[in-house]
Amino acid sequence: MSIHPSAVIAPGAIVPDSCTVGPFCTIGPHVVLGESCTLISHVVLEGRTRIGARNTIHPFTAIGVAPQDLKYGGEPTETEIGDDNTIRENVTISRGTVGGGGITRLGSGCLLMACVHIGHDSQVGSHCILANAATLAGHVIIEDYATVGAFCPVHQHCIVGKYAFIGGGTIVTQDVLPFSKTSARRENKAFGVNCVGLERRGFSPERIRALQRAFRLLLVSKLNTTQAVEKMRELEGEDVALLVEFIARSERGVIK
Give the pLDDT of residue 97: 98
Residue spans in the chain of domains classed CATH 1.20.1180.10? 198-249
Average confidence (pLDDT) over 161-189: 90
Minimal CA–CA distance to 51: which of 66, 32, 35, 25? 32
Q: In this structure, is the dihedral angle defined by the CA atoms of residues 142, 196, 219 and 211, taken in order, positive or negative?
A: negative
Using pLDDT thresholds of 50, 70 and 90, give the confidence band for residue 186: low
**pLDDT one-digit tens code per residue, 86-145:** 999 999 999 999 999 999 999 999 999 999 999 999 999 999 999 999 999 999 999 999
Would you please indicate which residues are annotated as catalytic (active-site) residues? 120-121, 138
Using pLDDT thresholds of 50, 70 and 90, give the confidence band for residue 187: low
Residue spans in the chain of domains classed CATH 2.160.10.10? 2-142
Using pLDDT thresholds of 50, 70 and 90, give the confidence band for residue 31: very high
Give the pLDDT of residue 191: 87
Q: In this structure, is the dihedral angle defined by the CA atoms of residues 247, 248, 254 and 256, taken in order, positive or negative?
A: positive
Minimal CA–CA distance to 181: which of 166, 200, 201, 161? 166
Give the pLDDT of residue 184: 80
Q: How many CB atoms lie within 10 A of CB 76?
A: 10
CATH topology of domain 198-249: Udp N-acetylglucosamine O-acyltransferase; Domain 2 (1.20.1180)
CATH of 2-142, picked from 1.10.357.140, 3.40.50.12780, 3.90.870.10, 2.160.10.10, is 2.160.10.10
Q: Is the overall model pTM greater than 0.75, yes or no?
A: yes
Q: Return phi, psi of residue 213, to 5°.
A: -60, -45
